[in-house]
Amino acid sequence: MEADYVIVGAGSGGSALAYRLSEAGKKVVIIEHGGSDWGPFIQMPAALSYPMNMGLYDWGMSTEPEPHLGNRRLVTPRGKVIGGSSSINGMVYVRGHARDFDHWAEQGASGWSYADVLPYFKRQENWHGEDDGADAAWRGHQGPLHVTRGPRENVLFEHFIQAGAAAGYPVTMDYNGAQQEGFGPMEATIWQGRRWSTANAYLRPARKNGNLKIVRGLARKVVIENGRAVGVEYERKGEVKVLRARAEVVLAASSLNTPKLLMLSGIGDAEHLKAHGIEVLAHRPGVGANLQDHLEIYMQFAAQEPVTLFKYWNLWGKITVGARWLFTKNGLGASNQFEACGFIRSDKGVEYPDIQYHFLPLAVRYDGKVAAEGHGFQVHTGPMRSKSRGKVTLRSANPADNPVIRFNYMSHPDDWAEFRKVVRLTREIFAQAPMQPHVKHEIQPGTDLQTDEQIDSFIRDHAESAYHPCGTARMGRADDPMAVVDPEGRVIGVEGLRVADSSIFPRITNGNLNGPSIMVGEKVADHILGRRLPAENVEPWINPNWQTAQR
């Protein structure tokens, strides 16, 4: 089989890329190891804790023991299914702050400033938030990706937002518009009660035009002849085949599997490749380096009143919610329950937010284990711009082996200072009058943990990944020795090969990564097609007192 473009990975970046290329009349084949996303565990938004814990849909990767987190191994779910991680994630939609992308451009990713990427965010979106009075000019209205807001019927959502305001923070009605900083409603990739993954948004429409095919199989390596990528070697049902690309090969296999594939193909740090008996075709020491993530803790509070979702956290409650969703696509099953959020700055002198809050009207973990205290609520929170950097390396030359993942979490001393601020600032918000009728007491960390040492110990034992890995094939100038791709997404040192996923982020963005990963697919498609949407020079809201005040 042959195609104009062979893409590895049917996830957030790969799906958007395939949609735009096939729309332009190109013949596209995606190689995807995972299977169908059909079924209630993926499609029902409230069931989000299930697919990321199911081997059927998840690659089953975890970190090596993390030395600064008590040598714990942290799970790192990645979607092994049509739609990739957009089919198993929390469905939260955050573009990132405008300054994130300006920083990318300053680091050598020219053409990726906020003015450059905003038109692509707008092109991908079909936004349904106008009723809240937000600035519609910043948003897209005809894109394939539906972006909605939950009904916020539970009183806790509004009271959390009001508590942020009472603590002196701004309220923002659209953190994806002009003003990210503040407390307000959270947005999600949910449409008509279903998870609106990139499989639903991009792949299903693209397959109808006859230009896109999806092939099941495990990608083993990029086939490179005379310095040019000409196809992908993959394995299906024990048989090894090659899918040839007439034009280009694009890797969109995730920030954990894309560097693995590059290295298996002979692109990476020469010494590391030689150690695994792999012929070096391009010495790029940046492959697998610059690994970043968001680390978070769950700050949990026991509730004074039975207004939380705990009343549904039993077999009969789950059956009731599930049955209503199955027949009507509405009710509690139609929401991810992340319906209120906050973005704040940790200190004066910080130009734009570096702490994020996801509020949830239930005290529960991602693996579905509920807090022992019954009725409660929580925020997922942590610093957005950790200075720690990790690495993805090969475990062996066997493509079936997961890579070695070392995030090196909390290896920079600033991370500890920032995380302590997170704990203390969060306690202050939950002590405000709007939350006082609801807070019975703090479950975790617990009010007896007050000193730096006690808070550090809690972080060491309880911090979890927010599942936002990125940065392992960093975009930069072609003469930057640690850059892996140039600002067109082209792998430096090899012809006909690009990357179009979160691997290329020079630095992690502010918030959840699904939105910017889709934007990368959208924008790289235009680089391939030799076209560009005109830049939009808009000025984001920055707190005018940021140099002198924390809020």
Just list the catalytic residues. 468
Q: Is 452 exposed, middle or buried (0-12, 13-18, 19+ CB in 10 A)?
A: exposed
- Annotated ligand binding at 89? The verdict is yes
Structural contact between residues 72 and 316, judged by C-beta atoms closer than 8 angstroms? no
- Annotated ligand binding at 173? The verdict is no
Structural contact between residues 81 and 35, judged by C-beta atoms closer than 8 angstroms? yes
Q: Is 128 exposed, middle or buried (0-12, 13-18, 19+ CB in 10 A)?
A: middle
Phi-psi region of 278 (alpha: psi -120 to 50; beta: other; left: phi over 0): beta
- Annotated ligand binding at 519? The verdict is no
Burial 265-288 (b: 16+ CB within 10 A, else e): bbbbbeebbeeeebeebbebebbb
Q: Find the farthest-apart pair of alpha carbons in the chain and give their distance in angstroms, rounded.
A: 70
Count how many residues are written for the chain: 551
**Rounded distance between C-alpha atoms, residue 49 and residue 366, angstroms:** 6
Structural contact between residues 80 and 176, judged by C-beta atoms closer than 8 angstroms? no
**Rounded distance between C-alpha atoms, residue 88 and residue 73, angstroms:** 21
Burial 438-447 (b: 16+ CB within 10 A, else e): bbeebbbbee
- List residues forming the annotated binding site: 81, 89-92
Q: Which residues are annotated as a binding site for FAD?
A: 81, 89-92
